[in-house]
Structure 1
């Protein structure tokens, strides 16, 4: 597992981690949902667990919240071992994908629910609820019922209800999944802004790579119950540690070949110069990884890796155009170009045209 220190994570060197998982596993018979997971999440960090369905991210979140008991390992919150504690004894709150609001209660009463159960005084409840509703831009809707609200407004009510109790850690299980694309992007920005203002540690589960890249201080990419890579969004996108991370984090061209003397030799295709690669021995089977937006179709610069190909398909999608370039039978690269004011329809490449493409050596990875 690759880790990278961030500004938020530096706090963990001086104080106890907000969340620490020590060799956590969860098995069901012979099948493991999570296997030997160790993570440190710093106070005030926005930390995302990212991966496909069934990778173990929600199970990990549920174990932090106390809703699922680990088979092995230890869970610490603020340095305290809470492995055996039930959910109501842990200083965490959870926002679920379904929001789980009480439709018979007003927005204000939904937000106040946890405070009332905790025995907080009426005056303090009124002040804290009003303040939190203003923070999530729902102050004018305090008397409304949840079923009269939009999806984004209901999401804010659920968030306010969780935050008003001032938890040490807030767990979020795909809370934006039910929103349409435009509203989801808006809520990504608002949720990150609220987290920064309040300073509470967020542990966020998502299968959406864009969400994780947009919102997180660090991302743990999970696959089959394990963390394949943990680091900043830039790390996991620009420097994926494995073929799985490269393919899961956005779109990546993965070209299989054999590494020999500073080149990746593609079977039935060209030899692509990549230079010396530490830890990669001659004769190794590898995958060459290069992102579509890193490949140039024109105005190639000196020192670039250059290769000839044939345009097989052109896909226009408004802001960008994607070209599928065949290098050899069965070997096709995706190339993404921005549609700027200078790129006119008549300037685009058409199917069947021969082209020369290129990329800078530092934008090319060689993965085992």
Structure 2
């Protein structure tokens, strides 16, 4: 038995020329799987003097089997980044690795990825089965295997009974599923999706979000999903990266990014957030022409700094305020009824208005809801607000 603190080596077994030592068990080095996608300081600059940067210095690791979203407004670089992963555009800086292999200079057909585009790009003259089989035929896969894989994939997307139909007879959601099946049947290492749900109506889009996530879990393939829809990214993603002007503004789980934004841009882009400007002094944000608002965190900003106090509308209470809450009074300027919820716009000080979201189970009758011009007291828990530069 090796010497350990629990089992010291007996002195009679130790040669006189040796000094007994306590053996410290070595902690094994944790084994991290190779990222399915690694972006190493990737950048894209358009040619010409003073060419604009579409993407700047992006570093990301996307894990195998992860549903990862690139989220941001139009022109932020998310689609350009997706195209570079797929090989449709070359980076001017950095490198792209798939499963540890540098593919930066490889064309799309030499990368084990497939792409689902917003337009679906189906062949109208082919049946659904032939659309799905198209890539397998080009690869020279045997007929029996093609039949088996196509049949299985159409069943996965719940279109097996329509295998002989043409795309022109399908709904938008069915076309989206055919495009997904055609990409997945090739068993790519990574599937790239460029806003594939954008053309669908709201109700169908929400239904397809759930279906797409279920399919991704079943096949276990890494999905990299581009969207400008915050709700879509929050609903579907294991992790997401918020992009702004070509850079990654913040990366994390949906809960991290929504509940703990690290910048005013992320706070305002991810859903709705009240950004109240003021000056940070001794644990409070002092409004220019209004109250002093206590904050829960101890922000790493210098005393006297100009800051934004970020509070989500659903975190603000209009009734049953608790003793430990931060409080402020204001005037209701607008009441917006939205079915299950009502949004109140409340002016705290000249030029400073906050949005408050309240479930209509609290005030279900119209006469119980606040009206414009009424003075109200609002409150929130200090830990629910953030101080942002």
Q: Equivalents in 1 of 2:380, 2:75: separation in Å?
A: 35
- Are positions 1:134 and 2:155 aligned together? yes
Alignment match, 1:4? none
Normalised by the length of structure 1, the TM-score is: 0.96
1:154 aligns with one of 137, 161, 175: 175
For residues 19-45 of structure 1, give each alpha carbon's deviation from its aligned partner in whole angstroms, at most 9, with x where no partner exists.
000010100032100011110000000
Q: Given that residues 34 and 60 in structure 1 are in contact (C-alpha distance below 8 angstroms), is that contact kept between their aligned partners in structure 2? A: yes
Q: Equivalents in 2 of 1:163, 1:324: separation in Å?
A: 47
Q: Given that residues 325 and 335 in structure 1 are in contact (C-alpha distance below 8 angstroms), is that contact kept between their aligned partners in structure 2? A: yes
Size of the alignment, in residue pairs? 357
Per the TM alignment, residue 130 of structure 1 is displaced from its structure 2 partner at its CA by 0.4
> After superposition, where does 1:1-368 map in structure 2 within 5 Å?
14-29=32-47, 30-275=51-296, 277-340=298-361, 343-368=364-389
Q: Given that residues 296 and 384 in structure 2 are in contact (C-alpha distance below 8 angstroms), is that contact kept between their aligned partners in structure 1? A: no
Counterparts in 2 of 1:331 and 1:341: CA distance versus 1, 3 Å: closer
Q: Equivalents in 2 of 1:37, 1:268: separation in Å?
A: 40
Larger of the two Rg values belongs to structure: 2
CA RMSD of aligned residues (A): 1.1
Structure 1: segments with no counterpart, 5+ residues: 1-11
Partner-residue secondary structure (3-state), 1:314: strand
Partner-residue secondary structure (3-state), 2:275: strand
Partner-residue secondary structure (3-state), 1:219: strand
Per the TM alignment, residue 224 of structure 1 is displaced from its structure 2 partner at its CA by 0.3
Counterparts in 2 of 1:310 and 1:133: CA distance versus 1, 3 Å: same
Per the TM alignment, residue 290 of structure 1 is displaced from its structure 2 partner at its CA by 0.1
Partner-residue secondary structure (3-state), 2:317: coil
Q: Equivalents in 2 of 1:341, 1:304: separation in Å?
A: 19
Counterparts in 2 of 1:13 and 1:67: CA distance versus 1, 3 Å: farther
Q: Equivalents in 2 of 1:297, 1:278: separation in Å?
A: 27
Q: Equivalents in 2 of 1:40, 1:114: separation in Å?
A: 28
Partner-residue secondary structure (3-state), 2:209: helix
Q: Given that residues 261 and 276 in structure 1 are in contact (C-alpha distance below 8 angstroms), is that contact kept between their aligned partners in structure 2? A: no
Alignment match, 2:9? none
Q: Equivalents in 1 of 2:193, 2:200: separation in Å?
A: 15
Q: Equivalents in 2 of 1:45, 1:158: separation in Å?
A: 20
Per the TM alignment, residue 343 of structure 1 is displaced from its structure 2 partner at its CA by 2.5
Runs of at least 4 residues off by over 4 Å: none
Q: Given that residues 297 and 386 in structure 2 are in contact (C-alpha distance below 8 angstroms), is that contact kept between their aligned partners in structure 1? A: no
Per the TM alignment, residue 14 of structure 1 is displaced from its structure 2 partner at its CA by 2.2
Counterparts in 2 of 1:261 and 1:341: CA distance versus 1, 3 Å: closer
Q: Given that residues 191 and 221 in structure 2 are in contact (C-alpha distance below 8 angstroms), is that contact kept between their aligned partners in structure 1? A: yes
